[in-house]
Amino acid sequence: MDDIIVAGGVAMTIKLVFNGYYRSGTSIMWWIIKRSNPEMLHLYEPLEPKWLEKLKNYKKEGYHFDSPLPIWEDYYRPEFQKIKDEYIRAWLNIKKRYTMDILPRDIREVAPLLDILENISTNVVLQPNRFHLILKDVSEYYNLRFIHIIRNPIDIWFSHSLKPLTRLSKVRTRYVLIKPFVKHISKVLYKRRDSKVTKWLILHWPNLEATRNAFYLDSLHRLVSAYFKFPPAKNNLDKLLINWTLLNHSAWQQSKSGKGMIIYYESLVKSPERHFKRMEQFTHIKFNLEYAKELTPRSITESEELREIFIQRLEKLELLDLVEEMYPPENWFG
């Protein structure tokens, strides 16, 4: 147990919190960290509102509906199974406070869950996606480091807008004949996302149920607007920009504590070796350079026209000053 961090005489097994807004690259980085440190326990999205349901489906089906990665695998490791029942009870106590998405606003909400992890006999890496408001408090209380990743809002929006189409192509439905067509269209739109047609479609995307709460957009927006006392939006893109700005800016501010690091997705995928070394030095956790080649700049939509559209939208929402502080638009493409 010599490699376990000790804070205040108490052995702390949580070594790292890797956080980020949805579709910011947290999943691929979770997968890279997991393979770089196979001896550790890597817990993916422990506050996912459908965590228990997805965990059961994963055991039954052997894969996850939304991801080709084994994202729930470590919850079935012997180390976690020993504390599973106690952990589930603590998770249910958190879940009952929320109607849909979960956004802790105080460390006391998640402390019972994190305290249980101290009883695991191995070091733990958490990828929560929902710790935006409590990163500093968690890092100080548990004496750990956190990394928060920020991706440009254009590609976050494309991912939110086009992903529902991809999902529709997977759903079991009597309209089986349209599924290949929907899947093909979503791929074409993404590949040609800088075209006039795709720009118009994405910026005027209808308020379909599948789109409105893709990645908990709608329910998270209600929590964010209430917490920051920010006027709620009706337009999906505005909801996303409000969520993206306020949550990322909060994480950016907390990173100044000395226990946090901000990584920008676009810079990471263009210079992965350099950032792997930075993250390894900061966290004392391995980031195997062998996996750096899995990150590609092809995922960046480099469109000056779209950048200007998003800047104007942020300015109209009176959010541009915050964005200029945490991730200036001129840096969005790396």
pLDDT digits (tens, 9 = 90+) for 170-213: 544 444 455 566 667 666 766 777 677 777 766 665 444 445 56
Per-residue pLDDT at 190: 67
3-state per-residue secondary structure call for 171-222: CCCCCHHHHHHHHHHHHHHHHCCCCHHHHHHHHCCCCCHHHHCHHHHHHHHH
Which amino acid does the sequence have at 243?
N
pTM over 0.85: yes
pLDDT band at 68 (very low <50, low <70, confident <90, very high): confident
Question: Residues of the chain with pLDDT > 70: what percent?
Answer: 81
Per-residue pLDDT at 205: 59
pLDDT, one tens digit per residue, over 267-282 is 999 999 999 999 999 9
Residue 225 has pLDDT above 50, yes or no: yes
Structure tokens at 21: 């807004």
Ordered by start, the domain boundaries in the chain are 5-150+258-296
- Going by C-alpha positions, the residue among 131, 126, 127 that lies closest to residue 103 is 131
Q: Is 334 exposed, middle or buried (0-12, 13-18, 19+ CB in 10 A)?
A: middle
The CA distance from 157 to 244, in Å, is 10
Per-residue pLDDT at 142: 94
Give the mean pLDDT of 86-94.
97
Per-residue pLDDT at 210: 45
Residue 127 has pLDDT above 50, yes or no: yes
Lowest mean pLDDT among 35-39, 190-194, 255-259: 190-194
Which amino acid does the sequence have at 318?
E
Q: Greater confidence, 218 or 266? A: 266
Residue 283 has pLDDT above 70, yes or no: yes
pLDDT band at 62 (very low <50, low <70, confident <90, very high): low
Give the mean pLDDT of 243-267.
97
Per-residue pLDDT at 3: 39
Residue 143 near residue 283, CB atoms below 8 Å: no
pLDDT band at 61 (very low <50, low <70, confident <90, very high): low
The CA distance from 266 to 249, in Å, is 17
Per-residue pLDDT at 65: 53
Q: Greater confidence, 119 or 24? A: 24
Per-residue pLDDT at 195: 76
Residue 138 has pLDDT above 50, yes or no: yes
Which amino acid does the sequence have at 263?
I
Residue 22 near residue 30, CB atoms below 8 Å: no
Residue 307 has pLDDT above 50, yes or no: yes
Structure tokens at 60: 């039954």
Give the mean pLDDT of 63-88.
87
Lowest mean pLDDT among 39-43, 83-87, 169-173, 291-295: 169-173
